[in-house]
Amino acid sequence: MLAGLMQQVPLSLNLVRERVADLFPGKHVTTRFKTGIHRAIYADILDRAARLANFIHGNGVERGSRVATLAWNSHRHLELYLAVPCMGTVLHTINARMTASDVAMLLAHANDEMLFVDRSIWDVIGADINLPPCVRHLVVMEDEASEVAGSNFPAGVVCHDYEDAIGRCASVFAWPVLDENEAAGLCYTSGTTGEPKGVLYSHRSTTLHTLACLFADGIAMRERDVCMPAVPMFHANAWGFPYAALMAGADLALPCRQTDPASLVELIEAAQVTMATAVPTVWLGFLSHLKADASALGRVSSLKRLPVGGAAIGQSFIEEFAKLGIDVMHCWGMTEISPLGLTNSARSKLDAEELRTSRTAQGLPIPGCRLRIVDDNGMRCPSDGRSSGELQISSPWAAAAYFNRADTASDSFIVDEERTWLRTGDVATIDPNGFVRIVDRAKDLIKSGGEWISSQALELQLMNHPYIREAAVIGRPDPKWQERPVACVVLQCDTPEARVHFEEQFRPYLARFFSKWQIPEDVLFWNELPKGKTGKTDKIALRKNISADLPLGSANYAPPS
Ligand code: ADP
């Protein structure tokens, strides 16, 4: 091999930090807290990130150790996004919608040493959480006025107030030179049962993903943009948008936890947002709000681009926004791929009809991603727009294994002579122009409003109920949330009284184990659940059955056995 003679600059997030310091110190970050708008410039964020790094380092958290956040989208979370990876520690962003026991389980699995938590989140879970012993420091960030400030902190952990803590530290930090393969971030894919699936991003993968967000046929983030990630910063790095905005030199607008239409309108107007992203559920509510209130439309006139992902979108979604002068771009991704893999923007090869129909496809692979679809026998399917198979992806920003979990290599990854392929669990077609369309999901999960619900976890608890003989939970299409869980059950002793009784009981029963939003909307009673060849419940048959205009929601509905 003849080695090239180019500079060995590590692909680390310090490239982002340095670029902001060199070129964009005066650009803006606007956070809309429930209590009011907070404005900062990037120079402030960098200054505070350096203080934060001194605080974390001063408390003995060493290179490679994990630092957790339980926080909404705010300037403080952005400071953590910069400080934690750039000092060589690993940012573990935890989903704030999880139950206290799931949060504790993830803190222990990741061996987190410090936990930064928004006050509003601590107020909800603080009383119930059993912090594992690895967590030595708890740092509270005052995101909203709280009536119970100062209460219920556990013993055995040192508690700090974020502003006090960083206020006492120096604003100069000796940022280390990092190896590009060092871990930078950690994100768990969902709070399902069994061993958690942690995706451990490296500096190299996150930096390459950040650059890809700037590609013209990627997200096309530019310096002139004001970017509003309304997807939570605990969801795969807010889909990479905060790092991309910093790298591009775009302004950022952060909505904290408020993604209701009125709050978003206020922030868009205050920061003059040009591009925004979130799951379709958020934008469907936003659209109705704009249609109902003409004055709101005038307030969001700066908004021009909407990259949307997390769930499929339809033609009318795209057309309704186009009427308002907002260009929707369909995207697809998953936590395991940092998360962006497909964007729907390259169009020059298409004729008018193809152009119209292709807009609802998830798009073409972003340069750097290679995709294939594979049938049940492991054979590659043709790109004819009809043959469907499991979507598999290979990319420098796709995972090759899960964190602290040896058993998943065979399930989720295929290693051939040339490369590793990640099995996405999505079923797709690819047309001759290369456009990928997701047509089904092989993984047994339900995605409601952008958040995963584990069918298996619900089934397990339902099976523990004394009335239940068989249980299956499936996703039912929903106009607002995209999908909602529905429980299909067979009772041990099936009488009309038992059905009524179970219908009354199942929600409070499940509420002992799950958050409210994870609990099935309805229960459907069956005489027997349909089975596949191997004797397992045939969920495809169940799904077909409940979406075929059957009398859903009726406790007395019993499909023929
Ligand atoms: P994210 O935070 O990007 O939603 P997750 O890992 O939680 O990442 O979810 C990824 C999964 O979401 C995909 O495997 C797919 O099932 C679904 N998904 C994401 N984007 C789309 C889309 N545009 N259309 C259909 N499904 C999508």
Q: What is the pLDDT of residue 350?
A: 82
Can you give 278-340 as a three-state secondary structure string?
A: CCHHHHHHHHHHHHHCHHHHHHCCCCCEEEECCCCCCHHHHHHHHHCCCEEEEEEECHHHCCE
In short, whether 109's Cβ falls inside 6 Å of ligand 1 is no
Average pLDDT over residues 296-325: 94
Helix (H, G, I), strand (E, B) or coil at 470: strand
Which residue's CA is minimally distant from atom 16 of ligand 1? 426
Q: What is the pLDDT of residue 266?
A: 98
Asked if residue 324 belongs to a domain, the reply is: yes
Ligand 1 atom nearest 231 alpha carbon: 2
Q: Which of 111, 233, 93, 116 is nearest to 165 (CA)?
A: 116
- Kindly state if the Cβ of 332 falls inside 6 Å of ligand 1: yes
Q: Which of 25-34, 40-49, 187-196, 361-370 has the weakest average pLDDT?
A: 187-196
Domain holding 274, by residue range, is: 14-330
Q: 445 in ligand 1 pocket by Cβ < 6 Å?
A: no
Q: Could you tell me if the CB of 312 is within 6 A of ligand 1?
A: yes
pLDDT band, very low/low/confident/very high, at 409 (cuts 50, 70, 90)? low
Atom of ligand 1 nearest to the CA of 438: 25
Q: In 345-436, where does DSSP find H-type helix?
A: 352-358, 409-412
Compute the distance from residue 383 Cα to the ligand 1 centre, in Å.
21
Question: Residue 437 domain-assigned?
Answer: no
Q: What is the pLDDT of residues 159-169, one digit of tens each?
A: 999 999 999 99
Average pLDDT over residues 180-193: 84
Would residue 396 count as lying in a domain?
no
- Active site residue ranges: 189, 336, 447, 452
Atom of ligand 1 nearest to the CA of 445: 16
Predicted confidence at residue 191, as pLDDT, reads: 43
Going by alpha carbons, the residue nearest to atom 19 of ligand 1 is 310
Query: Among 82, 38, 90, which Cα is nearest to 270's?
Result: 38
505 CB-near residues (< 8 Å, 6+ apart): 465, 467
Is residue 414 in a domain? no
The verdict on residue 560 lying in a domain is no
Q: Identify the pLDDT of residue 559.
A: 36
pLDDT for position 513 = 87
Instruction: State whether 305 and 451 are in the same domain.
Output: no
Domain assignment of residue 340, yes or no = no
pLDDT value of residue 145: 57
**Residue 283 placed within a domain:** yes
Best residue among 423, 447, 448, 455 to mutate for probing ligand 1, ranked by most atoms within 8 Å of CB: 447
pLDDT band of 389, cuts 50, 70, 90 = very high
Residue 558 has pLDDT above 50, yes or no: no
Residue 375 lies in a domain: no
Tally the domains of the chain.
Answer: 2
Instruction: Indicate if 456 and 313 belong to the same structural domain.
Output: no
The answer on pLDDT for 146 being more than 70 is: no
Distance 333 CA to ligand 1 centre (A): 5
User: Above 80 in pLDDT, residue 56?
Assistant: yes
Q: How far is the CA of 540 from the centre of ligand 1 (A)?
A: 19
* Ligand 1 centroid – CA 555 distance (Å): 32
* Ligand 1 touching residue 343 (CB < 6 A): no
Candidate from 426, 453, 454 with most ligand 1 atoms within 8 A of CB, to mutate? 426
Which residues fall within 8 angstroms of residue 317, CB to CB, at 6 or more apart? 280, 283, 284, 287, 308, 328
Ligand 1 atom at shortest distance from the alpha carbon of 336: 6
Contact 302, 325 (CB under 8 A): no
**Residue of the CA atom closest to atom 3 of ligand 1:** 334
Q: What CATH number is attached to the domain comprising 253?
A: 3.40.50.12780
Q: Report whether pLDDT(139) > 90.
A: yes
pLDDT of residue 194: 61
Q: Is 65 in the pocket of ligand 1 (CB under 6 A)?
A: no
Q: Which of these three, 314, 330, 346, is where a domain ends?
A: 330
Q: Quick one: 322 and 463 in the same domain?
A: no
The pLDDT tens digits of the residues spanning 100-134 come to: 999 999 999 999 999 999 999 999 999 999 999 99
**CATH number of the domain where residue 494 is located:** 3.30.300.30
Q: Which atom belonging to ligand 1 lies closest to the Cα atom of 312?
A: 24
Q: What percent of the chain lies above the pLDDT cut of 70?
A: 94
Ligand 1 atom closest to the Cα of residue 331 is: 23
Query: 390: Cβ below 6 Å to ligand 1?
Result: no
Tell me what pLDDT residue 294 has.
Answer: 86
Residues in the chain: 561
Rounded CA gap, 307 and 304, in Å? 10
Which of 304, 330, 356 lies at the terminal end of a domain, its last residue?
A: 330
Final residue belonging to a domain, choices 288, 305, 330: 330
